[in-house]
Structure 1
Amino acid sequence: MDASQYPTGAPTLEHVARVAGVSRATVSRVINNTRNVDPQIAEVVRAAVEATGYVPNQAARSLVTRRTNSVALVVSEGEDRTVPVDDAFVGRVFTDPYFGRVVSGLFSVLRPHGVNLVLMFVETDEMRRQLLGYLRQGHVDGVLLISSHAQDPLPKMLTEAGLPAVLSERPTTPLQISYVDAPQRVGARLAAEHLAARGCRKVATIAGPMDMSAGRDRLAGFREAMAEHGYPDIPSAAGYFTQESGSAAMEHLLDEHPDLDGVFAANDLMALGAVTVLHERGRRIPEDVAVIGFDDHHAAMLCRPALTTVHLPVEDMAAQMARLLLDRLDRPELPVAATVFEPTLVVRASA
């Protein structure tokens, strides 16, 4: 169909409704991404939209729905972070496999509902104030917040402002904010149990940043479990969740403890760095040194040998964040909600 077939020169909701065989109200609900429309009917309406060439007026839609059909993915870095903030911060985010998995999970839920994702980074108090002003002006409908630093004030700022938001992990202080999380200590204990069961007796760990809850909890969980097996003194070296820091930490541990036979790295990138150093030092994996990582992203499969690691369903966790936010936007009266995903150990060739 073309515009000349319509008296006004352009198809309207009524034309779409006539082609679809439904009411104008039903067409409006589908176009405005209302979530209680039967999927089969929604598909018929979308086909009619395509057939008629109808183009929704986004400005008019926003006036009616008071929705922008956009949400912000905010990556918040605390000013007390272990690694100093610099111009490479955004680059590190985009090269981190974890971030790619998060975005993939979010899109799997947001895209079918026609919701766009606005990516924002905040690193300082001034940037947080600017962000809050942007959000209060209604440029987006809600916030998906990735924040893992204990002192980050942004979760509290969002709740006090009454802005719809979902956090990527349990808040460090009680807040009225929905979140998705995984018990990091439990995952680290799985790694310890596996190394102990293999008979490893000289075990060390490469820890994540202590200003991040994942770093603290993974170290604590690993040490607790090893202590229960009779090994209360586990050497550790600090890493920053990067491959380079994993290599440096492994060099340090081998210099200090040349007889170690097991290593737990608090993420897969650091484990990959550790494996590289072990190969350079002539250590066989896992015959001489067993290695376990954490997260189970593509770095685990790039590793040689393939990396045994603690699996977190990051894509599923991100998808649930998006669902919780969309639910809150549709029904603001809903109470805050929490979803916890359990980690599992994926055994491969490295341990």
Structure 2
Amino acid sequence: MSTDRPRQKRATIIDVAREAGVSRGTVSRVINGERYVSAESQSAIEAAIAKVGYLPNTAARNLVMQRTLAVAFVVHEPASLFAEDPNIGAIMLGANATLSDADYQMVLLIVDSERDTQRVSRYLSGGFVDGVIIVSARAYDPITRVVEKIGLPAAFVGHPPDLPQIPFVGIDNRSSARSITERLIATGRSRIGMIAAALDRDSGADRLAGFRDALGDRFDENLVESVPLYEFSAGVSAMQELLKREPDIDGVFAASDAVAAGAMNALRAAGRSIPRDVGIVGFDDSTWALRTKPTLSTVHQPAQGLGEAAAASILGQLRGEPPQLGGILLETPVVWRGSA
């Protein structure tokens, strides 16, 4: 004997019209938010919808409107770094909050391999989303090329240098890095190095440029150690290399808080006191900055605000508003704490 429950029939627009005593066209106008429906009919239809349990067929409606009401959020980072970097999560939450307020869904897509690149490119080309927010795009990125080719509304968090005319939101990484390096110089340090990260994207390259600007003629290439990603383990290994090569180093600018936290771990293991022997600063003002001992001097990056601004840019484009091609830059104050 079968124990399967009979499938309940889904209420239709016809059921609503019959219950409300109006035409299907009138019900359709109310569901689609159109005008020219009397207050009496509106009330009757709303009561009928509640009584019969009608749920609009969103897929069919979106097909007619040629809209999916979904926006992709593409992150070009390894899955391990996605879990480690609080900035990405904050950007994502900011974007989701803004999209949610506009009744849009956000679809998360992580690019961690060449296969992911091909898969995500096919997905974006398939018409499954109305727009895309791209985080951590590299120069000459194939996904960016797909977005350009199909004309998909897009907003970048950060600014790939090969695309001067794209809508983007970001921060002035170069001037921010210069400001915090100048603050570190002002503490009296004379051998200041940098752990540079992610030099294949604008944020990493600009932070190194700002560091070089601040030091001017005192810049020493031997005091720079580069790593591929903004991650804790990279900070540990890079600091070990710097200490081995330049043992008299007394100041460090790390390209992110996670990198700085790793560097501090390596300094303590080498018997160096922070900030007495070595002053260290980071970048982001993430949760990493408050976990270190002493707490980390850093640049405040408004990660959630970046996500909100990127989502607002997409929604504006979908409303037919021209994007701000010059980009939107948010402020990044220096936050001074005990590490320097």
Q: Same fold (TM over 0.5)?
A: yes
Aligned pair partner of 1:237 in 225, 229, 235: 225
Change (3 A) 1:10 1:261: farther
C-alpha distance in 1 between matches for 2:88 and 2:116: 21
Point out where structure 1 has 5 or more consecutive residues left out of the alignment.
1-5, 16-22, 31-46, 78-88
Change (3 A) 1:141 1:246: same
Aligned match of 2:190: 201
Give yes or no for contact 1:159–1:176 (8 Å, CA) kept in 2: no
Aligned match of 1:140: 129
- 1:139-167 deviation per Cα after TM superposition (whole angstroms, max 9, x unaligned): 11111112332231332331222111111
Which sits farther off after the overlay, 197-206 or 232-241? Answer: 232-241
State the Cα distance separating 1:236 from its structure 2 match: 1.1
C-alpha distance in 2 between matches for 1:7 and 1:310: 55
Q: How does 1:210-289 map to 2 (within 5 A)?
A: 210-227=199-216, 231-233=218-220, 235-239=223-227, 240-289=229-278
Which sits farther off after the overlay, 256-265 or 296-305? Answer: 256-265
Q: Which has the larger radius of gyration?
A: 2
Q: Which amino acid aligns with 1:28?
A: N
State the Cα distance separating 1:204 from its structure 2 match: 1.0
Aligned match of 1:35: none
State the Cα distance separating 1:192 from its structure 2 match: 1.1
Which sits farther off after the overlay, 276-285 or 169-178? Answer: 169-178
State the Cα distance separating 1:256 from its structure 2 match: 2.2
Q: Identity percentage over the alignment?
A: 36
Change (3 A) 1:50 1:213: farther
C-alpha distance in 2 between matches for 1:212 and 1:92: 16
State the Cα distance separating 1:174 from its structure 2 match: 3.8
Q: Which amino acid aligns with 1:149?
A: R
Matched, 1:320 2:309: yes
Change (3 A) 1:257 1:126: closer
Aligned match of 1:334: 322
Matched, 1:58 2:46: no
User: Number of matched residues?
Assistant: 312
Q: How does 1:1-351 map to 2 (within 5 A)?
A: 28-29=32-33, 54-76=54-76, 89-122=78-111, 127-227=116-216, 231-233=218-220, 235-239=223-227, 240-331=229-320, 334-337=322-325, 338-351=327-340
Give yes or no for contact 2:79–2:112 (8 Å, CA) kept in 1: no
State the Cα distance separating 1:257 from its structure 2 match: 2.2
Give yes or no for contact 2:257–2:286 (8 Å, CA) kept in 1: yes
State the Cα distance separating 1:314 from its structure 2 match: 1.1
C-alpha distance in 1 between matches for 2:71 and 2:235: 35
Change (3 A) 1:49 1:58: farther
State the Cα distance separating 1:48 from its structure 2 match: 8.3
C-alpha distance in 1 between matches for 2:248 and 2:16: 76
Change (3 A) 1:49 1:165: farther
Q: Which amino acid aligns with 1:231?
A: R
- 1:154-204 deviation per Cα after TM superposition (whole angstroms, max 9, x unaligned): 323312221111111223124543111211111110121111111111111
- 1:33-59 deviation per Cα after TM superposition (whole angstroms, max 9, x unaligned): xxxxxxxxxxxxxx9899665522212
Change (3 A) 1:127 1:256: closer
The root-mean-square deviation of aligned C-alpha atoms, in Å, is 3.1
Describe the SS at the equivalent of 1:120: strand
Q: TM-score, normalised by structure 2?
A: 0.81
Q: Which amino acid aligns with 2:213?
A: E
Give yes or no for contact 2:125–2:146 (8 Å, CA) kept in 1: no
State the Cα distance separating 1:109 from its structure 2 match: 0.5
- 1:304-351 deviation per Cα after TM superposition (whole angstroms, max 9, x unaligned): 1110001111110111000000111121x5245321113211011111
C-alpha distance in 2 between matches for 1:48 and 1:243: 57
Describe the SS at the equivalent of 1:166: strand
Give yes or no for contact 1:180–1:321 (8 Å, CA) kept in 2: yes
C-alpha distance in 2 between matches for 1:131 and 1:340: 28
Q: TM-score, normalised by structure 1?
A: 0.79
- 1:6-59 deviation per Cα after TM superposition (whole angstroms, max 9, x unaligned): 9989657x97xxxxxxx98576349xxxxxxxxxxxxxxxx9899665522212
Q: Which amino acid aligns with 1:58?
A: T
- 1:38-86 deviation per Cα after TM superposition (whole angstroms, max 9, x unaligned): xxxxxxxxx9899665522212321342211111111236xxxxxxxxx
